[in-house]
Each structure stands twice: as C-alpha cells, then as structure tokens.
C-alpha cells in the first residue's frame, strides 16, 4: 500500500498568499509523516499557489522510476495515487497512439494520461484497487476517485473553501484548519452495526469517498461534485439456459483471469492463506501461474478450537508453497488493540483486524518481502532486524520463525 494526502485552498488569489505558500510545505510534511508506515520506500511533495499533494510510496511496479507525485509531459497535471491498475498495460497502447508520451512503466502514469484523454470518465476504464487525486493546475480542478469496492481508502474534509484529503483520518487532522470533533449522531449506528454505512465518519466534518464514486472540486467556483460511476450490475435472466458444467467453466475462467491480473508486480509475491475455500483456490491457481516459489502466510491462536493454522498448513503442503505461520496468545491479542485503533482511526469491531495485523507483520519480515532491497542469500534473517543488526549493542533473537540470526529484536514485532 501507499499513502496519499493533500489539500486545495480555494481562497487563494491567482498570485496566492505568501504566508500560506510558505506554510504549505510544513503542513504537507506533517501530514505525510503521520502515515509514513504506509510507504517506507520513498516520499514526495508537489506544491503550487493553490494545491499541495504528498505521497508515501511502497514500490511494486517500476521500482526505480515510479516516484510520486507524478506529472504529465508538460507538468500541468499531477497525481498522487495508492493502489494498482491491473489492466494498465492494456490501456497504454491506445494512449500512446493518441500522442501521449510515457517516461516510466508505472500504472500511475497511465492514470495521468487516461485523465488527459478521457476526463473524469477515465476511471470507468480501470480494473484494479485504487484511490487517487489528480490536480489539473491550469484549470484549478482536483479530480479524485475510489475503486469499485472501496479496497483503497480515501477520506476528505470540505468546509466550502478548504479541501483536505488523505488515506487516513489522522493525516487530515494534521492540517491546522481541521480539528478532531466527535460525531455523536453516528454513535447509535456504529454501536448497532459495527460500522458506518454512509459517507460519515466518527470525526465531525470528515467523510469517506464511497466505493465506486468520483469527486470533482472546482477551486475557482468553489464547487464540489460527487457522483457514483459504478454499481453492482443487475442482469436479467439468461436468454439461453446454461448447464452446470458451463457455469463452472465460466466461473473458473473468471477466477483465473482475476488471479492472473493481480500477479502484476516487480517485487516478490506472497498471499495470506487461511485454508478456506477462497484463499485455497487462489493459492492453487497462483502456484500454477508463477515460476518462483509461492510464499503463503497464516495466522492462528494458541487455542486450537479458534485457530485455522491446521487447515492452512494442509493446503500449503498439498500444493507445495513456502509456508510461514504466526500463533497469537491472548496477551498479544489484547496488547495490539491500542496500536490497531490508532491505525484504523476508529474502534475495533471485528477481531479479524487483529489477525490481519499479525499476519501482515509476518509477511513484512519474510525474505520474499526483503529481497527487493537485498538478495536473500546475503543474510539469513528478516528484513527489519538485519538492517539494524550492525548497530545492536545487545543482540537478541528475531521472532520471525525462520530468522536464524542473532540480531536486535525486529522492530516490526
């Protein structure tokens, strides 16, 4: 994942306020530091008299050249983006034929050129998981969109003259014009269902851009337009009845296509495996589609009756993956809650959030994750602990199960 943030001040004159222009870098730096955990591989800032964009990068595609914020050829259009456009390579030839010139192999650049060519309808051509903001500085318009199912987050604050956005609420609160106020009217719904169904959050004035929606802010007219660009399709009955064999074949074809598209990466791949039907099917298909060993990661509990480790281990052995596990104790589960509440910016409703945190941390410490910055053969430990081992005065054992070096305690644990 990456982290995005930024703001647009619609009160600015054409020349801008010198005082505000000076303070803009300090504000965006503070916002980006708050979400630096989302992008450890790099950061960048774009600023002009009216807007400021920030980005924290986790490198996946075109590791060397995909720095953000990224611009078009004449630097009139800038983007900060989180996610992956799985079909970006398929969209590129048509854009190049229309005269757009690429500098990288990143999916980020495809969004920029698609926006130039198709305007706000560009988002309808993307297949992927994404949230992004495009600043068109010549016309002072900010265009933002979120993927169809809301996999990637996008939060915003708008008071009629100032628009602030970010991947996480805590970054928005770093802007001096935004204060943390409790939206008490949302509490009954949150307590009843465990989540807020609409665009509101528990922070008054801060909203979610809903899944399948796009947003256009015209800084000149101070107008904000939000509209749905996608909804779950409702199809009429089939003209010709299909047999069970035909339905199974189509389901398999679509599943294989979906898995194959998500294997787009310039760094080693892995997946979370629970041993259930869905993750097991994905792992089996992934095993057939890649030439390198598949890394699988599972999380379970000390109490066997609540743990899925046995099922995940059985699937991993059956299809032949390089499997890793982490087992949680009750103490570790509850000790993690304050940190997770900080990460999620809201109360923890579902216990799966805790499990997901620990299995993600396990994947972070694996050689598969680390090999993009150092060859696995150069050290026997995990990425986080080995990078700091040389400075350790009192070495201890890393808790990643396969870390055989004596180094400082892994900071990710």
**119-148 pLDDT, tens per residue?**
999 999 999 999 999 999 999 999 999 999
pTM of the model: 0.85
Instruction: Catalytic residue, from 2, 10, 365, 385: name it.
Output: 2
Give all domains of the chain, ordered by start, each with its CATH number: 3-228 (3.60.20.10)
The single-letter DSSP state of residue 203 is B
Helix (H) or strand (E) holding 3: strand 3-9
Q: Which has the minimum average pLDDT: 61-65, 192-196, 406-410?
A: 406-410
Distance from the first to the final alpha carbon of the chain: 19
Q: Are strands 162-166 and 155-158 parallel, antiparallel or unpaired?
A: antiparallel
pLDDT at 268: 74
pLDDT at 43: 86
Identify which of 317, 320, 269 has the alpha carbon closest to the alpha carbon of residue 290.
Answer: 269
pLDDT at 40: 77
Reported as a pLDDT band with limits 50, 70 and 90, residue 337 is very high
CA 254/CA 249 separation, integer angstroms: 9
- 83, 151 contact by CB (below 8 A): yes
Helix (H) or strand (E) holding 323: strand 322-328
pLDDT at 306: 83
Strand, helix or coil for residue 38: helix
3-state percent helix, strand, coil for the chain, nearest multiple of 5:
35, 25, 40
Mean predicted confidence (pLDDT) in 142-162: 96
Percentage of the residues of the chain whose pLDDT score is greater than 70:
83
Mean predicted confidence (pLDDT) in 147-164: 96
Mean predicted confidence (pLDDT) in 351-357: 90
pLDDT at 149: 95
How many other C-beta atoms can be found within 10 angstroms of the C-beta atom of residue 353? 15
Give the tokens for residue 306: 């609540």
User: How high does pLDDT run on average in the chain?
Assistant: 84
Mean predicted confidence (pLDDT) in 338-359: 91
Percentage of the residues of the chain whose pLDDT score is greater than 90:
65
Strand, helix or coil for residue 80: strand
pLDDT in tens, 279-327: 999 999 999 998 888 899 999 998 888 889 999 999 999 999 999 999 9
- Residue 195's Cβ-count burial label (10 Å; 0-12, 13-18, 19+) is exposed
- Listed in order, strand segments (DSSP E) in 137-250 are 141-146, 155-158, 162-166, 206-208, 213-218, 223-228
pLDDT at 64: 65
Q: Which has the minimum average pLDDT: 178-182, 263-267, 293-297, 321-325?
A: 263-267
Known catalytic residue at 2: yes
């Amino acid at each position: 994942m990456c982290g995005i943030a930024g703001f647009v001040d619609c009160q600015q004159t054409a020349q801008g306020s010198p005082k505000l222009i000076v303070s803009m870098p300090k504000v965006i730096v503070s916002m980006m530091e708050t979400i630096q955990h989302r992008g450890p591989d790099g950061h960048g800032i774009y600023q002009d008299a009216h807007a400021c964009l920030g980005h924290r990068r986790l490198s996946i595609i075109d590791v060397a050249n995909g720095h953000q914020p990224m611009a078009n050829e004449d630097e009139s259009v800038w983007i900060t983006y989180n996610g992956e456009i799985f079909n970006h390579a398929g969209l590129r030839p048509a854009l190049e034929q229309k005269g757009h010139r690429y500098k990288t192999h990143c999916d980020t650049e495809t969004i920029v050129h698609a926006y130039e060519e198709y305007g706000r309808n560009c988002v309808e051509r993307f297949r992927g998981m994404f949230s992004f903001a495009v600043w068109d500085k010549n016309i002072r318009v900010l265009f933002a969109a979120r993927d169809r199912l809301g996999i990637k987050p996008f939060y915003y604050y708008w008071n009629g003259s100032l628009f602030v956005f970010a991947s996480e609420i805590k970054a928005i609160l770093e802007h001096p014009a935004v204060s943390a106020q409790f939206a008490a009217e949302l509490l009954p719904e949150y307590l009843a269902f465990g989540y807020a169904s609409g665009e509101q959050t528990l922070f008054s004035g801060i909203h979610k851009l809903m899944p399948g929606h796009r947003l256009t802010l015209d800084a000149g007219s101070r107008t904000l337009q939000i509209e749905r660009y996608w909804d779950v399709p409702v199809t009429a009955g089939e003209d010709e009845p299909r047999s069970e064999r035909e339905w199974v074949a189509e389901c398999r074809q679509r599943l294989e296509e979906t898995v194959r598209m998500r294997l787009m990466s310039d760094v080693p791949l892995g997946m979370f495996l629970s041993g259930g039907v869905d993750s097991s099917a994905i792992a089996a298909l992934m095993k057939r589609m890649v030439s390198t060993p598949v890394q699988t990661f599972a999380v379970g509990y000390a109490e066997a009756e609540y743990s899925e480790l046995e099922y995940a281990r059985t699937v991993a052995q059956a299809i032949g993956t390089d499997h890793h596990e982490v087992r949680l104790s009750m103490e570790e589960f509850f000790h993690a809650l304050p940190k997770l509440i900080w990460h999620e910016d809201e109360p923890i409703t579902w216990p799966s959030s805790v499990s997901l945190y620990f299995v993600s941390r396990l994947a972070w410490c694996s050689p598969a994750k680390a090999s993009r910055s150092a060859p696995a053969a150069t050290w026997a430990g995990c990425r986080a602990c080995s990078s700091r081992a040389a400075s350790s005065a009192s070495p201890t054992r890393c808790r990643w199960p396969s870390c055989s070096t004596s180094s400082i305690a892994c900071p990710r644990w």
